[in-house]
Amino acid sequence: MRISRLYTPLPLTVGQQLELQGDSAHYVRTVLRLKTAQTIILFNGQGGEYLCGIHEVSRKRVIIDIQQGVERSVESPLNITLGLGISRGDRMDWAIQKAVELGVNTLSPLITERCVVRFKENKKQQRLQHWKNIVQHATEQCGRTILPQVNAIESIEHWIQQQSGLKVFLDPEAEQSLAELTPSAGHITLLSGPEGGFSEQEREGAVAAGFIPVRMGRRVLRTETAAIAALSAVQMLWGDFL
């Protein structure tokens, strides 16, 4: 029987008890419906995980016994940064979820000229927290022990100036393919556009900042497909898909 995994931001130490709070306690109590003496795996995103026993479950509290530390990593040797042009609703959610499963380390939601989504300032934090929740749940589901970093929403113009490693952006008009390139020190930065693609000014700005345009085959891919296809390709070429 598979043991459920749950992320907690709290410190984890073998031999101690931990009281889960908020959504985590609700999940154990109401969704998983775990009982006293049953088992759960906790991790805090810093590496490794912990085998735990349920000490108490009640309406007021959920108490966990931290029983055993397990040294385990399923991280790719490739360090992947993804700049993702913000797309509408489920498309963005789906791309973020799959990016986590495919091993992305750092993710930045980007405002571009052709983004069809426009946020009022008071909604940015709400949307960012929504994406962080998706990252957390995807990390729990896929077995990773390192929680990918989700950066604040920012403009593509600012983001491209801060990046390092092998820097590429996905462009159906490009002539080069990923297979013709080589990552720098095991680090690759991918830039993927929104539904409308990049403007000419954004293309020029990315090239000026050291980004290399690459194509993903001869067909034009939808925004959510392009990012996932690129992540799969770099893991096959230089990561852990071999």
Instruction: Label residue 197 by pLDDT band (50, 70, 90).
Output: confident
pLDDT of residue 218: 87
35 and 102 in a single domain? The answer is no
Average pLDDT, the chain: 92
Which residue, of 70, 97, 116, is where some domain finishes?
A: 70
Question: What tokens appear for 51 in the block?
Answer: 């085998």
**Mean pLDDT of all residues in 131-151:** 96
16 and 100 in a single domain? The answer is no
29 and 120 in a single domain? The answer is no
147 and 200 in a single domain? The answer is yes
Please check whether residue 169 is in contact with residue 62, taking contact to mean a CB–CB distance below 8 angstroms. Answer: no
Instruction: Label residue 162 by pLDDT band (50, 70, 90).
Output: very high
36 and 87 in a single domain? The answer is no
Residue 161 confidence (pLDDT) above 70: yes
pLDDT of residue 1: 62
Residue 192, amino acid: S
Task: Report the distance separating Cα 69 and Cα 35, nearest Å.
Answer: 21
Which residue, of 35, 70, 105, is where some domain finishes?
A: 70
59 and 93 in a single domain? The answer is no
Condensed to tens digits (0 to 9), the pLDDT of residues 204-228 reads: 999 999 999 999 988 888 888 999 9
**Mean pLDDT of all residues in 40-67:** 94
What's the number of domains the chain is made of?
2
129 and 233 in a single domain? The answer is yes
**Mean pLDDT of all residues in 17-27:** 91
Q: At which residue do the structure tokens 């820097």 appear?
A: 167
Domain that holds residue 224: 79-238
84 and 197 in a single domain? The answer is yes
Q: Which of 194, 30, 185, 41 is nearest to 110 (CA)?
A: 194
Q: HEC profile for the chain?
A: CCCCEEECCCCCCCCCEEEECHHHHHHHHHHCCCCCCCEEEEECCECCEEEEEEEEECCCCEEEEEEEEECCCCCCCCEEEEEEECCCHHHHHHHHHHHHHCCCCEEEEEECCCCCCCCCHHHHHHHHHHHHHHHHHHHHHHCCCECCEECCCEEHHHHHCCCCCEEEEECCCCCEEHHHCCCECCEEEEEECCCCCCCHHHHHHHHHCCCEEEECCCCCCCHHHHHHHHHHHHHHHHCCCC
45 and 85 in a single domain? The answer is no
Instruction: Label residue 85 by pLDDT band (50, 70, 90).
Output: very high
CATH of the domain at 133: 3.40.1280.10
117 and 227 in a single domain? The answer is yes
**Mean pLDDT of all residues in 150-174:** 95
34-55 per-residue burial string, b: 16 or more CB within 10 A, e: under 16: beeeeebbbbbbeeebbbbbbb
Question: What tokens appear for 44 in the block?
Answer: 């805090």
